[in-house]
Amino acid sequence: MSGLRVAVYTAPPIPCVDHLSGQSNTTWSPETCTLIFSENEAILLSYIYITHGHPDHFLGIPQLLNRFPEAVPLATKGTIAHMKESIAEPFFTNTWLGFFSGNQLYKPPQLANPLPDNNKIVLEGSWVFEGIECGHSDTYDSTVLWVPDLKLAVCGDVVYGDVHQMLFEANTQEKRDEWIRAVEKVEALNPAYVVPGHRNATEMDGVWHLVSTKQYIRDFTKALEAKPKDLGDLYSIMLKKYPHRFNPMVLGWGCAGVFAGTEEAKP
């Protein structure tokens, strides 16, 4: 074996409690885990890259380090600041233990170490991996991991597969426009392979995810322009447009975020 290879595992959806609505028969969206490896080394085993500060993307760090103690978790400085905010109390207990009660979450959480100032890491002295800062996507200070030798973009939540996108934090037109610009920043890299942070296990990791992610955001804006009378009306418009996307719980969060955070959805 020579050169770099990549494998993607999709962690299946698991039960959760939607403590925002009080529903208990809900599931968490499936998440991708990307292993980039050569004959001698793996990015997951040498380094663990965290794309952004949502805890569902970094709470597994302690378990990985138990198995691979020499690995170094890394993230941009902006992501690390977000991670600190995400595990601060009482937010962590009220939010994340609310989603996953009992002993489902490994505690205590662990932060990543900062990337070098150029946001680059090197595997085996040859292959360069770069954390690309993209701004606001489904949350602030989002990044993607860019692997030029593979033309691979590991996109975290900047890009979604056939799963409802989380617009709870992208609750203004300005933030949604910034998310579209974040996707366009990935497009400008001219990737051959695009790994969404959330997708169904049977989906391939292709550039079409860039187009569909932007279109979902634009359709959400069009639904708002139709002046829905309440969040339920907005939810119905989007669900009719995307009846087959997985996990409408997340769509409900986006609708609630708009009506709680802005005036734009009011008739």
What is the per-residue pLDDT across 124-164, written as a single tens digit (0 to 9) for each? 888 999 999 999 999 999 999 999 999 999 999 999 999 99
Average pLDDT over residues 114-119: 97
Average pLDDT over residues 113-134: 95
* pLDDT exceeds 90 at position 79: yes
Domain that holds residue 222: 5-261
- The confidence band for 39, taking pLDDT boundaries of 50, 70 and 90, is confident
Residue from 110, 135, 127, 138 nearest 50 by CA: 110
Could you give phi then psi for residue 257, rounded to 5 degrees? -65, -40
pLDDT at 103: 84
Sheet containing strand 47-49, edge to edge, reads 47-49, 72-75, 113-114
What is the per-residue pLDDT across 179-197, written as a single tens digit (0 to 9) for each? 999 999 999 999 999 999 9
In a domain, residue 203? The reply is yes
What is the per-residue pLDDT across 44-74, written as a single tens digit (0 to 9) for each? 789 999 999 999 999 999 999 999 999 999 9
pLDDT at 263: 37
Contact 184, 135 (CB under 8 A): no
In a domain, residue 159? The reply is yes
Average pLDDT over residues 96-116: 91
Distances (CA, A) of 117 to 31, 75, 78, 155, 266: 28, 11, 12, 20, 44
Average pLDDT over residues 216-223: 98
In a domain, residue 266? The reply is no
CA 210 to mean position of chain CA atoms: 14
Domain count, the chain: 1
Distances (CA, A) of 120 to 74, 158, 255: 10, 19, 37
pLDDT at 266: 31
In a domain, residue 267? The reply is no
Residue 131 belongs to domain with CATH number = 3.60.15.10
* pLDDT exceeds 70 at position 203: yes
pLDDT at 3: 86
pLDDT at 2: 56
User: Structure pTM?
Assistant: 0.94
In a domain, residue 33? The reply is yes
Contact 72, 47 (CB under 8 A): yes
Distance separating alpha carbons of residues 61 and 216, to the nearest angstrom: 31
Q: What is the mean pLDDT of the chain?
A: 93
pLDDT at 261: 60
- The confidence band for 265, taking pLDDT boundaries of 50, 70 and 90, is very low
In a domain, residue 225? The reply is yes
